[in-house]
């Protein structure tokens, strides 16, 4: 953590503590009116519980709120009103929906491609149909895909492609931190910007809290790099910053696109060690499919910049669009609607698996639907394997992840922990034909609260690479045996159960 960022964190923490102290002070000052205060808040909490019960949110999220409200009704209802409801205002949602409608107009589905996929595999066609109709991102022929097993591999190729940029570079990341990785990339971006290349950066304020200065975006602007910060953190008691931009996107000239789990910080390329060896993955693809990544970036940029972008200026029109045996479909997920695109795409792969499903995820904090799907697939004879970290980056999240092992293992799901350190990749591969590489963790925040993205693939060359990487990674993992689960102390079981209950709020 850079020393110059500590004052900002301290200021935010002190500001929030001060507000809490003021609230407590007001309660003490007006203690003589406590009876009225208590009655009003009990009434508010009762109304809030009724509201939550009738809301369309995930049942696990409802339970995680209802229990603490019922336990502490005097403050529970007010606390939910303050931070529990959707943090996006109607004004923001309305503005984003207008931009979303614009993106639908430029993302036109290709019926020929859809028909070809249906003729080959109806299960694949159903998944693609869902993505097209509920995420609004179309299906493309797969030209070239390159899968990277480690951050070091992606870093090398990213620099190579950035050096080729002639027209524009769009980069959107949850985390950027000064160091070997980012500084060497920044050198390229500054050079390109000085030559007239349109260089734009979006980074998330929470992701970069403690890593960049408060006005780092202005430093980039002074270098000729256009920049926006997503959802800046403000020192008030509110989780208006609950919805984050967790995507990792690079688009170069509309020709080449990157995504995956890798942020722009040194732990992702193992230049520094935080939690042992850091394993993460990414994917590069070219051809028409890059257009979807371009639109993802521009739609968020248009919202942050309050500008009207001409998307067509950034479409690469000289590519060859021909069928080479596979399909690819980049997609985005966001918290603006009730549609959990990332989770549904994952569930579709699990439910359609005939032979195997191999999954890597840094967090395994799932709802009942996902838990049931994984268990049923294993009970039906599908080889379901999941790799999680051995060294967690957050102890409480790691404890919740491990709390899901027992029902999964007892149903036949094989769980492995990556012994050398922390695995941050988010990948699915199934039956030698389906694959996903993206930013979507198997936890509540990624599945319900964040802006995310991924790439769904069918019969691309990278499917084999995904499987090969998973199998080779298993050699560095420890399998979780039933005997290990049976020997967990009772008090640890209770602790994990409590954490699991409140996992939707983490």
Known catalytic membership, residue 228: no
Known catalytic membership, residue 248: yes
Q: Give the DSSP H or E segment for 301.
A: helix 290-305
Higher local confidence (pLDDT), 402 or 72 = 402
Higher local confidence (pLDDT), 195 or 53 = 195
User: Which residue in the list 248, 390, 398, 406 is annotated as catalytic?
Assistant: 248
Cβ–Cβ under 8 Å, residues 458 and 121: yes
State pTM to two decimals. 0.89
**pLDDT tens for each residue of 217-255:** 999 999 999 999 998 887 665 555 678 899 999 999 999
Residues 63 and 160 in one domain: no
- pLDDT at 403 > cutoff 70: yes
How confident is the model at residue 39, as a pLDDT? 80
Confidence band of 23 (pLDDT split at 50, 70, 90)? low
Question: How far is CA 218 from its chain centroid?
Answer: 26
User: Which residue in the list 204, 280, 286, 431 is annotated as catalytic?
Assistant: 431
Q: How far apart are the first and last CA of the chain?
A: 23
What total number of domains does the chain contain? 3
Query: At which residue do the structure tokens 């005997």 appear?
Result: 483
User: Which residue in the list 424, 433, 450, 467 is annotated as catalytic?
Assistant: 424
Listed in sequence order, the DSSP H helices in 311-453 are: 341-352, 368-379, 395-403, 405-410, 444
How confident is the model at residue 502, as a pLDDT? 63
Known catalytic membership, residue 275: no
Residues 310 and 456 in one domain: no
Tokens standing for 149? Answer: 């097993």
Identify which of 45, 52, 62 has the alpha carbon closest to the alpha carbon of residue 448. 62
- pLDDT at 260 > cutoff 90: yes
Residues 241 and 324 in one domain: yes
Higher local confidence (pLDDT), 55 or 492 = 55
Task: Point out the domain boundary residue: 294, 311, 333.
Answer: 333
Tokens standing for 110? Answer: 């290709």
Residues 178 and 318 in one domain: yes
In sequence order, which residues have a C-beta less than 8 Å from that of residue 462 and are 6 or more positions away? 145, 146, 147, 283, 435, 437
Q: Give the DSSP H or E segment for 436.
A: strand 434-438
Residues 379 and 292 in one domain: no
How confident is the model at residue 77, as a pLDDT? 75
Residues 103 and 181 in one domain: yes
User: Which residue in the list 192, 246, 279, 433 is annotated as catalytic?
Assistant: 246
Cβ–Cβ under 8 Å, residues 457 and 326: yes
CATH number at residue 397: 3.30.870.10
Residues 71 and 95 in one domain: no
Residues 137 and 39 in one domain: no
Known catalytic membership, residue 426: yes
**pLDDT tens for each residue of 73-119:** 776 777 777 666 655 667 777 777 878 888 888 998 888 899 999 99
Domain containing 181: what range? 90-333
Task: Point out the domain boundary residue: 333, 367, 394.
Answer: 333
Task: Point out the domain boundary residue: 314, 333, 352.
Answer: 333
Q: What SS3 state is found at 28?
A: helix
User: Which residue in the list 154, 228, 426, 433 is annotated as catalytic?
Assistant: 426
User: Which residue in the list 253, 286, 443, 465 is annotated as catalytic?
Assistant: 253
Residues 297 and 406 in one domain: no
> How do beta strands 168-173 and 249-252 pair?
antiparallel
Residues 370 and 440 in one domain: yes
Q: What value does the mean pLDDT of the chain take?
A: 87
**pLDDT tens for each residue of 419-475:** 999 999 999 999 999 999 999 999 988 998 899 999 999 999 999 999 999 999 999
Residues 46 and 124 in one domain: no
Residues 128 and 255 in one domain: yes
- State how far the Cα of 375 lies from the Cα of 381, in Å rounded to an integer: 10
How confident is the model at residue 1, as a pLDDT? 42
């Amino acid at each position: 953590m850079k020393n110059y960022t500590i004052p900002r964190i301290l200021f935010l923490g002190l500001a929030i503590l001060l507000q809490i102290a003021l609230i407590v002070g007001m309660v003490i000052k007006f203690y003589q009116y406590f009876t009225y205060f208590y009655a009003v808040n009990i009434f508010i909490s009762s109304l809030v519980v009724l509201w939550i019960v009738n809301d369309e949110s995930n049942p696990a999220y409802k339970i995680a709120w209802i229990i603490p409200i019922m336990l502490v009704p005097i403050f529970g209802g007010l606390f939910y009103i303050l931070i529990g409801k959707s943090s996006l205002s109607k004004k923001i949602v309305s503005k984003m929906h207008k931009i979303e409608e614009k993106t639908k107009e430029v993302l036109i589905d290709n019926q020929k491609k859809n028909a070809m996929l249906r003729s080959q595999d109806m299960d694949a066609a159903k998944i693609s149909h869902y993505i097209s109709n509920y995420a609004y991102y179309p299906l493309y022929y797969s030209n070239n895909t390159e899968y990277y097993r480690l951050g070091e591999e992606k870093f090398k190729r990213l620099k190579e492609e950035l050096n080729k940029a002639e027209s524009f570079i769009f980069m959107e990341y949850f985390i950027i931190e000064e160091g070997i990785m980012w500084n060497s990339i920044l050198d390229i971006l500054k050079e390109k910007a000085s030559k007239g290349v349109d260089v734009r950066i979006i980074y998330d304020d929470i992701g970069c809290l403690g890593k960049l200065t408060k006005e780092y975006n202005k430093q980039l602007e002074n270098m000729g790099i256009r920049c926006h910060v997503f959802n800046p953190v403000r020192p008030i008691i509110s989780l208006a910053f609950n919805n984050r931009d967790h995507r990792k996107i690079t688009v170069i000239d509309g020709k080449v696109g990157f995504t995956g789990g890798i942020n722009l910080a040194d732990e992702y390329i193992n230049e520094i060690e935080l939690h042992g060896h850091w394993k993460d993955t990414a994917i590069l693809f070219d051809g028409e499919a890059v257009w979807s990544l371009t639109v993802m970036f521009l739609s968020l940029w248009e919202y942050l910049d309050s500008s009207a972008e001409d998307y067509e200026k950034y479409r690469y029109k000289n590519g060859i669009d021909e069928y080479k045996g596979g399909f690819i479909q980049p997609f985005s997920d966001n918290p603006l609607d009730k549609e959990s695109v990332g989770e549904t795409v994952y569930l579709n792969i699990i439910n359609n698996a005939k032979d195997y499903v191999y999954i890597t995820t840094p967090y395994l904090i799932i709802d009942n639907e996902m838990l049931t799907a994984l268990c049923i697939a294993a009970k039906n004879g599908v080889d379901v394997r999941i790799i999680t970290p051995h060294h967690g980056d957050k102890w409480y999240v790691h404890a919740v992840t491990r709390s899901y092992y027992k029902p999964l293992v007892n149903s036949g799901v094989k769980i492995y922990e990556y012994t050398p350190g922390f695995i941050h990749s988010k990948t699915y591969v199934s039956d030698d034909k389906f694959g996903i590489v993206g930013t979507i963790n198997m936890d509540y925040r990624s599945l319900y609260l964040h802006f995310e993205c991924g790439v769904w693939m069918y019969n691309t060359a990278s499917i084999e690479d995904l499987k090969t990487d998973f199998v080779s990674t298993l050699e560095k993992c420890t399998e979780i045996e039933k005997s290990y689960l049976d020997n967990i102390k009772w008090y640890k079981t209770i602790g994990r159960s409590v954490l699991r209950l409140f996992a939707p709020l983490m």
